[in-house]
């Protein structure tokens, strides 16, 4: 997933960023509301991790503005504000989850996964796709020949297609899943990883619609 992390505390920010990067997500980290607004204006994110007490204001204002624009991007609040009234306020402002600092990074990962599955319309962590069984929690795939191992980038592309079955994703949309702002985009990266996925999952696992993009197909038996 492409995640926007809005957190000004260096220690927490680095820990959360390292955790999410290690799990194969693409993460852009900013420390102010102003920078968060700029990111949200230019990039389509799958999830926002939002601190509330930021140098230039209250993160709740940003959240309310995001929802007022009609955006349904999932938002998980990460904050030291632990009173029940504050949690209620955050959820009523449009947050999908509310996690109080200090929190366990593995719990954060579990909440990220749960929120992402709900937004994809499939809260079940197990998906059956042709001969493939996909576990979204462990990020594992089993086929007729046993376990199929994917690299982090292969999984990122496959997950993007899984989250929007039947939809066509353009090459730039898939590139957003792989690259943060400070990364250099290679011109043929998507083609390379799609080819690798087809070899592992079956040549019809991903459809190419010439001039449009890619769509989840109907996996057969991998080579």
pLDDT at 218: 75
Evaluate the CA torsion angle 84, 86, 88, 91 in order and state its sign: negative
**126-216, CATH topology level:** Arc Repressor Mutant, subunit A (1.10.10)
Helix (H, G, I), strand (E, B) or coil at 109: helix
Please compute the mean of the pLDDT values over residues 146-167 and round it to a whole number: 88
For the chain, give every domain's residue range.
2-119, 126-216
Task: Check pLDDT > 50 for residue 222.
Answer: no
Arithmetic mean of pLDDT over the chain: 88
pLDDT, tens only, 174-217: 888 787 665 666 778 889 999 999 999 988 889 999 889 999 98
Superfamily of domain 2-119: Response regulator (3.40.50.2300)
The C-alpha angle with vertex 172 and arms to 95 and 200, in degrees rounded to 5, equals 95
pLDDT, tens only, 141-156: 998 889 999 988 898 8
Largest CA distance in the chain: 56
pLDDT band for position 173 (cuts 50, 70, 90)? confident
Please compute the mean of the pLDDT values over residues 80-90 and round it to a whole number: 93
Q: Are 135 and 147 in contact (CB under 8 A)?
A: no
């Amino acid at each position: 997933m492409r995640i926007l992390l809005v957190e000004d505390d260096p220690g927490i920010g680095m820990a959360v960023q390292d955790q999410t990067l290690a799990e194969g997500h693409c993460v852009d980290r900013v420390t102010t509301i102003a920078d968060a607004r700029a990111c949200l204006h230019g990039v389509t994110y799958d999830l926002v991790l939002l601190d509330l007490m930021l140098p230039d204001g209250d993160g709740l204002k940003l959240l309310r503005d995001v929802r007022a624009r009609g955006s349904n991007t999932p938002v998980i609040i990460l904050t030291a504000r632990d009173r029940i009234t504050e949690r209620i306020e955050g959820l009523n402002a449009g947050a999908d989850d509310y996690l109080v600092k200090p929190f366990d990074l593995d719990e954060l990962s579990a909440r990220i996964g749960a929120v992402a599955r709900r937004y994809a319309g499939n809260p079940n962590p197990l998906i059956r796709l042709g001969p493939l069984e996909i576990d979204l929690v462990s990020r594992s795939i089993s086929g007729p020949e046993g376990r199929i191992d994917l690299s982090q980038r292969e999984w990122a592309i496959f997950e993007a297609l899984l989250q929007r079955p039947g939809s066509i994703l353009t090459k730039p949309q898939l590139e957003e899943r792989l690259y943060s702002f400070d990364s250099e985009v290679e011109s043929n990266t998507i083609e390379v990883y799609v080819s690798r996925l087809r070899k592992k999952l079956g040549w019809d696992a991903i459809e190419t619609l010439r001039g449009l993009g890619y769509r989840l197909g109907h996996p057969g038996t991998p080579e």
